[in-house]
Structures are given as C-alpha cells and as structure tokens.
C-alpha cells in the first residue's frame, strides 16, 4: 500500500457553504488539500504518468492534485475525509486495469434476440391499416 507522507500534503481551510448553519459564517471548516504529485518522493515515474492520465481532471496547471471537502461541520473531520479521498483516488488509479476478453453471444441469446425482433415486427404490422381490395 502506498503511504503519502504528510509533509508533502498542503492544507488550506476556507469558509464553507456546506452544513453548519450560522456557524458557517464564522468558521473556516472547508478543507482544501493540495498534493504536488510530480514532486512526490513515493511515486515512480511510471506511477506519476499513470496518475497524470487517470486523474487529469483533478490536476491543477501546476501539477497539484486538488481535493476540496466540506461534508462535515468540523475542520478536523473534513481534513480526515480529504486524506481518505486522496488515498482512495491514488490507490484506485494505480490498480492495474484488467483487459476485457472479447466474448461471443451464445446460441440461445442470438435466438432470443431474433425471436424478440420477430415479435416486435409482427406487432408493428398489426398497427397498419387493413388494405381494401
């Protein structure tokens, strides 16, 4: 399992629009996590490339992985949730993808599909007006 040192992670706390009632107007509970992924010492170059591709939508132009959390009412719990999300995202992105093996439809599924097409076609034929001779 990959362990990211806390010294590499930057936190900033800002006012949140999440739960908390009037407390939201007074305290900075939203946790903004920033991790300089390309400068990290725990990742290999191949891992960095994999993360850059899979987490491109979360990367800033500076190469930081950004996560914002405002789910909880306390600063500490939002910080913990941001760390959990970081570990989940990185571990899921680094899991190797299993290539899909192409399969062929079974004889029964082909027969069922053709039977459904036949029924649907005959139903549509019944909708046509009857031609008079």
Mean pLDDT of the 21-43 span: 83
Distance, C-alpha 62 to centroid of its chain: 21
| pLDDT beyond 80 at 19 | no
The pLDDT score that the predictor gives to residue 110 is 97
| Coil/strand/helix, residue 63 | coil
User: Is 130 a domain residue?
Assistant: no
Q: Which two three-digit tokens encode residue 34?
A: 């920033």
The pLDDT score that the predictor gives to residue 106 is 96
Question: What is the number of structural domains in the chain?
Answer: 1
The pLDDT score that the predictor gives to residue 37 is 86
User: Is 36 a domain residue?
Assistant: yes
DSSP 120: H
- 28-32, 95-99, 105-109 — which one is most confidently predicted on average? 105-109
User: Is 52 a domain residue?
Assistant: yes
| pLDDT beyond 80 at 49 | yes
| pLDDT beyond 70 at 39 | yes
Domain extent at residue 60:
6-94
pTM above 0.85, yes or no: no
Mean pLDDT of the 105-132 span: 94
User: Is 19 a domain residue?
Assistant: yes
Q: How confident is the model at residue 12 (pLDDT cuts 50, 70, 90)?
A: confident
Find all residues with CB under 8 Å of 11, minimum gap 6, and list them. Answer: 31, 32, 33, 34, 79, 82
Alpha-helix residue ranges (DSSP H) falling in 28-106? 45-54, 75-94
| pLDDT beyond 90 at 73 | no
User: Is 80 a domain residue?
Assistant: yes
| pLDDT beyond 70 at 120 | yes
Indicate which CATH number applies to the domain containing 32: 3.30.160.20
Mean pLDDT of the 102-130 span: 95
């Amino acid at each position: 399992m990959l362990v990211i040192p806390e010294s590499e992670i930057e936190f900033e706390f800002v006012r949140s629009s999440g739960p908390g009632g009037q407390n939201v107007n007074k305290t900075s509970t939203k946790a903004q996590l920033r991790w300089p992924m390309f400068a990290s010492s725990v990742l290999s170059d191949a891992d960095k490339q994999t993360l850059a591709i899979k987490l491109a939508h979360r990367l800033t132009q500076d190469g930081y992985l950004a996560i914002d959390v405002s789910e909880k009412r306390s600063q500490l719990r939002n910080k913990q949730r941001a760390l959990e999300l970081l570990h989940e995202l990185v571990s899921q992105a680094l899991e190797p993808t299993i290539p899909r093996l192409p399969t062929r439809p079974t004889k029964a599924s082909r027969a069922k599909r053709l039977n459904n097409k036949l029924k649907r076609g005959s139903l549509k034929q019944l909708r046509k007006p009857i031609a008079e001779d």
